[in-house]
Structure 1
C-alpha cells in the first residue's frame, strides 16, 4: 500500500474554499490525519514531525530500498531537492511512504475493524450482503435499507440515520436505485423520483497513468535486486516472512518517486504545485532465476482535466437486475476528451522527464536504457518521437484506481456529508471528493472517514 497524507491536504483545502472552510476547519483536517496515523519511518529532510501523527492505528513507514540513494543522486544531478512525501507540496524527489508494518498491510480493516468485530455489541457485520435500496419516506427521511443476503431480500431499519460508504460507483447507484439522482435517468429506469439531484454520478475523476516499461540496466552493478526464490527455497522464505515480516513477500516494490510541476500547471498559475508524480519501480516484474531484471516508470497525472460520468443502465434495471452493479453501471471516464485533451500534453512532458532520469549520468553508470519494442498500433510514427508517444498514450493510458467525485461535496452532499434534500442520509467515501487529491487517495479517504465519524458523533451527542 502506498500512503500519502498531509501532502494532499493542501489540494483538498483549495477545493473546499468554495464550501467556506474556516481556519478552524483547516486545523481539524490535520487533526483527522494525526488521529489515524502512527508514523515510525525515517525522515530525510530534517525535522518534519509536524506532518505526522504517532498515536493512531494505521502504521506508516518510509520505504528505504537500496535504490534510494541512487534516486537522490539523480535528483541532485537534475536540479531537484530531496523532499518529504508527507510535507507541503513542492517539486522534489522523495522516498515512498507505505502503510506496511513488519511486512503486512496496515489497512483499515486490520487496524479498525478486526480488533473489535467480535467484541462490540453495537456492531453487526453482515457479510455476503448487498444493499439494493435506501428506504425514504414521504417526508424525504431515510429510515432503513433493503439488502439481499444469500439472495434473500431483507430490511434493516435505522433508528438514527443511514450512512452509505460503497465507493465511487455503488454509492451513486444506490442513491439512484433509491430515487435520488438525475430525473431523466430515474424516469427512464421506471424509478419513482424521491428527490432530484442532477449531479449524482457526474464529475467522475481519476488519475491517468502511463507506464514506461522495460527499462533495462546492468544487473551486476545495481544494488541488491530481490529475486523470486526457487521452489525448494520457497518454504524457507515463507517461514522467514511469517516470523519476521522480511523477504520478498514483504517488499513494496513501488517507489521511490518524484513530484514535478508541469508547464500546464505553470500556465494555470500553479507554479509551486506539482501535478506530475513519477514512480520508479526498480523490479518490474521481480525477476526469477537468471532472468534479466527490468524497471518501470509509472507516470501519474495528479490533476487531470478529464471528467467522466457513471449512468444507471435503465435497460438492466427494468429487466429486474438490482444487486449486480457491474451490469447496472454505465461508466465513461472520458479520458483525454474535451478539456481533458490537454492531459495528453502533460503526459508527454512527463515522458520527457522520465527519459531525463533514464539518461542521467547517475543512471548511465548502471547501463540504463529504454528497451521496449515499438507499439504495434503506432508503427507509422517515428519511434520515440512526440507523435509516436502521443499515439501510444491514446492506446495505453489507464486508470490509476483513484476515482472520486460521483457524489461530490457541494452538489450532492454538504460539508457534513449529508445528502442534499434527504434527511438522515449521508455518503462517506471517495465519491464525495469534488476533485481528486494530488496523489494516492488512501490517506485522504481515511482522513475523510475520521472527519465524518467526528461529525456524526458530534451531531448525535
Structure 2
C-alpha cells in the first residue's frame, strides 16, 4: 500500500506501550481509519524470547540514547554518561524491558490530578487498569496479557524469606505479590503491540522504518498530519481527527520542538521559528538506582551464562515455554517507607545476577562500565554475586531534553541532572543500609551472602561502610532504572485531555505526560493512562472544556465511560 496517498482519521506516532493501546482503541470504531507509524522495524518471533530483551540494547532495535556527562552522578561510568536504551522496533521499549507490571500507589495519581476539581481514583483511574488487564471474559478485549514468571532462580525463595524476616512491605499499595507480574504470555514477551497485531484490524495500518520529523499545523495551530522520512525520502500524511504523539519521553518532546512547540528561546537558538511557547522537555526525571554486585555469595545461583547457553535451556523453551530463557531478569520486588501508610519511597529490585556473571564480556557494556572501573573494582570480585538495586521512587532531581540542532536525525541532548538534589542521595544510602540488614538475616546467611567490601575507586578517601563513603559510592556508581518520564507533563504542556496546550487535534500520550514517577515500574501506569487518553480522544473531549474552579487549568468535563 502506498501510504503517501492516504488520508486518515488519526495518525499515531510510536508503537510502544501507549501508542499501541491508543491506536487499537481508536481502531475499535470501524469508522475510524488509523495509521500507526514506527521509526523501527518489525523484528521477529525470536525477539519475543524474554531473555533476549537485554541483548537488544546497543543494537539496531535500540535508539542508543546517551545522556550528557553528569556533574553530580555517574562519576565512575565511562565519560560520566548514563546509557539510556529505548526500543526502536514495533512494541517500543517494552521489547527491551524487564516486563515488570505494577500499578503504583493510588496516591500517585492524585498528585498528577491535583489541579482537577473532582478527581477520584476509583472513578478516574481504577476502571482503566481493569480495562487494561485480562479480566477472564474475552482475553482480546484487554490491551495486555499479564502472568507470573515460568522460571525463578534457586535463590528466589531465600530472598523472600529474608524479606519476611525484616518485615519488608511487598505491596505497591495495590498488589501484594513479591514476585512481580509480567507482561508475558505462554513464556513469551507479550507487548501491547502484540495484542494489537493479534486482532488484525482492517481499518488500522502500520508503517515501519519511518521517522516522523514534525507535526503539520495550520495557522490556527490545528494539527492536520505529520511529515516523515522513509528510506531518505520525505512524505506526509493527513489526519482529519487527530495526531497522537506516542514517541516516548525523548521522541515526543523532540517532535514537538521540531514543530515549533517548546521553549521559545531554545527554539530560536536552534533556528526554529517558535509557534507556541511551552516548557516542552522540562521536568525530566528517572528512577535512579545503585548497588551493582554489592552482595556476594559462596555459591552461584542456577542462572548464569552456562545455564543460558545449555542445550537443556534451549529444549525447555522451545518444547514447553519454560526454563531460564523465560527469565525476566527481575525476580522479586519490595517497597518500603518509614511510614507504612504513606506512598513508598524506596523500591528494591532483586536480580539473581551481577554484572560480573559473564566475566565482563557483555553486561558491563550496557551500563557504561569502562576498562578502568572494570579492572580496578569489578574484576577483583572473586565470588558469585547478585544484585539488590535500591531505587528512589520519587526523586527530586529534575533534568531536561533539548535539541542539539534542527536535524530530525540528530539525537537530542539529554540531561537527567542525576543526584542534583541531596534527597535522592539520602534515599539511596538508606537503601544500602537496608541491604546490609537484608543480608544479615538467617536465610541469607545460609546462602553465604556478604557485603562486597572492596573499596570503590574514587572513594578511597572515605572510611569504608560510613555514610560519607556510601554517599561517594552512589555518586560514582549511579544507575538508571530505565524509567524516565515527565517531559510533556500534564497540566503544563498538555491539558488533562492530553491535548497540547494552544493547539487542537494534537495530543501526547506516553510516559512523557506523567508529571511525577509512580511508585514502581511505570509501564503499567503508562498503559493505564493510554487507555484513559484513548477514551477521551475518541469522544472528542476537546469540545467540552471549562476552567476548573478558580484556577487557570483546563480540565475535561466529558463523561467518557469505559467501553
Q: How does 1:75-154 map to 2 (within 5 A)?
A: 75-80=163-168, 83-84=170-171, 87=174, 94-112=178-196, 114-116=197-199, 119-154=200-235
TM-score, normalised to structure 2, is 0.69
Q: Is the 8 A contact 1:210 1:397 kept in 2?
A: yes
Q: Is the 8 A contact 2:343 2:519 kept in 1?
A: no
Superposed CA offset, 1:56-87 (max 9, x none): 24222234734444333223322345x44572
Q: Secondary structure at the match of 2:208?
A: coil
- Correspondence for 2:554: none
Superposed CA offset, 1:414-455 (max 9, x none): 111000101110000100001111111111111111111111
Q: Is the 8 A contact 1:2 1:96 kept in 2?
A: no
2:290 corresponds to which of 183, 196, 210: 210
- Correspondence for 1:300: 391
Whole-Å separation in 1 of the counterparts to 2:240 and 2:157 = 56
Whole-Å separation in 1 of the counterparts to 2:349 and 2:208 = 36
Q: How does 1:239-318 map to 2 (within 5 A)?
A: 239-262=315-338, 272-284=342-354, 293-313=384-404, 316-317=405-406
1:32 corresponds to which of 120, 125, 128: 128
1:20 corresponds to which of 113, 117, 121: 117
List, as ranges, runs of 4+ consecutive aligned residues in structure 1 with deviation greater than 6 Å: none
Whole-Å separation in 1 of the counterparts to 2:239 and 2:140 = 35
Greater CA drift, 120-129 or 302-311: 120-129
Superposed CA offset, 1:196-216 (max 9, x none): 21x111111111111241522
Q: Secondary structure at the match of 1:413?
A: coil
Q: Secondary structure at the match of 2:458?
A: helix
Cα RMSD for the two superposed structures: 2.7
Whole-Å separation in 2 of the counterparts to 1:210 and 1:39 = 36
In 2 relative to 1, CA 439–178 (structure 1 residues): closer, same or farther, beyond 3 Å? Answer: same
- Correspondence for 1:45: none
Structure with higher RCO (Cα < 8 A, 6+ apart): 2
Q: Where does structure 2 lack aligned partners over 5 or more consecutive residues?
A: 1-97, 360-381, 542-559
Superposed CA offset, 1:81-139 (max 9, x none): 5x445726xxx882222222332112112122x214xx433222111111111111111
TM-score, normalised to structure 1, is 0.83
Whole-Å separation in 2 of the counterparts to 1:217 and 1:447 = 39
Whole-Å separation in 1 of the counterparts to 2:307 and 2:155 = 24
Q: Does residue 71 of structure 1 match 2:71?
A: no
* Residue 15 (structure 1) shift: 2.3
Whole-Å separation in 1 of the counterparts to 2:160 and 2:310 = 33
- Correspondence for 2:303: 226
Superposed CA offset, 1:334-359 (max 9, x none): 1121xx22210111111000110011
Q: Does residue 333 of structure 1 match 2:416?
A: yes
- Correspondence for 1:49: none
Q: Is the 8 A contact 2:104 2:525 kept in 1?
A: no
Q: Is the 8 A contact 1:13 1:21 kept in 2?
A: no
* Residue 282 (structure 1) shift: 2.5
Superposed CA offset, 1:309-368 (max 9, x none): 11222xx32xxx2233x1xx122111121xx22210111111000110011222112221
